[in-house]
């Protein structure tokens, strides 16, 4: 059993790099996913994951599989779509979720078209599903930087973010920080999605944000503990998915997300805060 769990990471450098990458993604994406969930913005995260695709595709068209070009392109595209969706929702009768849906569908179609103009099917699969088993030093440094920036920013903005989750009206009545904090938070979402894009692709990057956060919600009501549990679930999902990919010869990105989905299902069934088992058999014998 020890050899089954340890040998892939001790013997193969690409597995070690993938492990570092998924840990970095979990450290940044887990807390961001918790706030997305508590702010009822889960589908916004999915929309933004698709929104970065055309920018990354333009970077690819200009410079090939260049990390700086695709990163900068993805960041620009994500910010443009977020701002455009917000403006449409404020200037028209269309709600923000509907405008985001429209923009992300257009972004996905445009991004796939741009990649197809120059690249092969392999390049398209790289953009859509990532290459977590082929992370280089430059990409690992980017992922580590993003997770560091995210943790520091959330530490500074923790109180207003929590207040906005609990009572946004009260926050607006006592402070003008609501809008700036929201914009910074959206920037962190885009930043983490761009980082996750390089490892898991545009279709799966949001999975390492939302599935661990949703699983953590079934174990605690405390936001700080929820973020810690979300990070832990993300790390376990990354390790389990990489091992599943290695031993079962499955694609690594989907294996990681499937593992996260399995942990979500386990939390849904057994979680102390609204899990199905605790709802089906309430009583003192199940109380803490």
pLDDT tens-digit readout, 11-43: 899 999 999 999 999 999 999 999 999 888 777
Helix H or strand E segment including 126: helix 121-129
Closest CA to 142 of 62, 83, 249, 70: 70
pLDDT tens-digit readout, 62-100: 877 778 888 888 888 888 887 787 777 777 777 766 777
Distances (CA, A) of 117 to 86, 90, 197: 30, 35, 20
Closest CA to 33 of 199, 223, 206: 206
In this structure, what token pair is assigned to residue 193? 């999605």
Helices (H) and strands (E) in the chain, counts: 14, 0
Indicate the pLDDT class of residue 172, thresholds 50, 70 and 90: low
CATH architecture of the domain 2-286 equals Orthogonal Bundle (1.10)
Report pTM: 0.86
């Amino acid at each position: 059993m020890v050899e089954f769990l340890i040998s892939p990471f001790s013997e193969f450098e690409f597995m070690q790099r993938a492990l570092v990458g998924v840990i970095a993604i979990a450290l940044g994406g887990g807390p961001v996913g918790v706030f997305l969930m508590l702010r009822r913005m889960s589908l916004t995260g999915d929309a933004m994951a698709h929104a970065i695709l055309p920018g990354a595709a333009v970077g690819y068209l200009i410079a090939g599989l260049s990390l700086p070009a695709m990163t900068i392109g993805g960041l620009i595209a994500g910010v443009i779509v977020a701002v455009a969706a917000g403006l449409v929702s404020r200037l028209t009768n269309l709600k923000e979720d509907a405008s985001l849906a429209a923009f992300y569908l257009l972004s996905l179609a445009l991004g796939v078209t741009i990649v197809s103009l120059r690249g092969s099917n392999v390049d398209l699969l790289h953009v859509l599903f990532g290459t977590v088993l082929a992370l280089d030093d430059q990409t690992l440094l980017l992922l580590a930087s993003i997770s560091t920036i995210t943790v520091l920013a959330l530490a500074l903005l923790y109180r207003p973010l929590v207040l906005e989750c609990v009572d946004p009206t009260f926050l607006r009545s006592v402070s003008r920080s609501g809008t700036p904090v929201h914009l910074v938070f959206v920037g962190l979402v885009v930043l983490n999605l761009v980082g996750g894009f390089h490892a898991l692709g545009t279709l799966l990057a949001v999975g390492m944000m939302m599935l661990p956060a949703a699983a953590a919600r079934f174990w605690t009501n405390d936001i700080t503990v929820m973020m810690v549990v979300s990070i832990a679930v993300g790390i376990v999902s990354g390790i389990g998915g990489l091992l599943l990919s290695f031993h079962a010869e499955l694609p690594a990105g989907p294996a990681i997300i499937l593992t996260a989905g399995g942990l979500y299902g386990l939390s849904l069934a057994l979680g102390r805060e609204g899990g199905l088992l605790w709802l089906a058999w309430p009583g003192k014998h199940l109380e803490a």
